[in-house]
Amino acid sequence: MNPWGSNPSQKRRDKLYIIAEILEIAKDGTLKTQIMYKANLSFTQLNDYLKFMLKINLLDKVVENDKEIYRATEKGLDFLQRYREITELIKAEGENYNKNGVKIPPPHLLKRN
Per-residue model confidence (pLDDT) at position 96: 61
10 occurs within a structural domain: no
CATH of the domain at 19: 1.10.10.10
Q: What is the pLDDT of residues 59-97, one digit of tens each?
A: 999 999 999 999 999 999 999 999 998 888 877 554 566
54 occurs within a structural domain: yes
Per-residue model confidence (pLDDT) at position 12: 77
22 occurs within a structural domain: yes
Domain count for the chain: 1
Can you give the residue range of the structural domain that contains 85?
Answer: 15-99
65 occurs within a structural domain: yes
Of 66, 1, 54, nearest to 23 by C-alpha is 54
2 occurs within a structural domain: no
Per-residue model confidence (pLDDT) at position 81: 95
